[in-house]
Amino acid sequence: TEQRAYDMTIEATAIPLRDAWKVREWFPRAIDFEIIAPSDWGYNCYAYAVGKNYWIGSFDFMESLDKLGYKMLPEVNIEVELGIEKVAVFRDDHGITHGSIQRRDGRWESKLGPGPLIIHNDLESISGGGYAYGKVWAVYARPCEVAA
């Protein structure tokens, strides 16, 4: 059964309802999203974006993007490109705040700090004030294999 947090559809074996409420409370602009993993203090958005399973800081995140072959694009380009994997990097007045991975269908995956891992349609849904992550500052990209 497909779960959509915005309508609070949930099954007995599904992700806890409190995770859906967290997303709605923390990110009021997040209207259409899907929770794909429950809250977990073990890793954060930076770790998820670079394939690590433990909490890392923004410096390690940016360093990992470089080591994994990601290059900063000359402008923010969030269009889907065949054979290109993209990570959107957010920042606010205090520095780097978040990393989201673009899926092949154009949607984005974001681990929300200690909260759940979600799929969301656009980057605006987690930007702005409050608990939000500021604005998309840059997009990093690298070549990837195209599924047959």
pLDDT of 37-54, one tens digit each?
Answer: 999 999 999 999 999 999
pLDDT of 5-41, one tens digit each?
Answer: 333 333 333 556 778 888 888 888 888 889 999 999 9
Q: Are 101 and 86 contacting, i.e. CB atoms less than 8 angstroms apart?
A: yes
Q: Are 119 and 103 contacting, i.e. CB atoms less than 8 angstroms apart?
A: yes
pLDDT value at 1 more than 70 = no
Q: Exposure of 91 by Cβ count < 10 A (0-12 exposed, 13-18 middle, 19+ buried)?
A: middle
Distance CA 110, CA 148 (A): 26
Task: Write down the pTM of the prediction.
Answer: 0.84
**Amino acid, res. 110:** S
Angle at 37 between CA 133 and CA 84, to 5 degrees: 65
Distance CA 86, CA 54 (A): 21
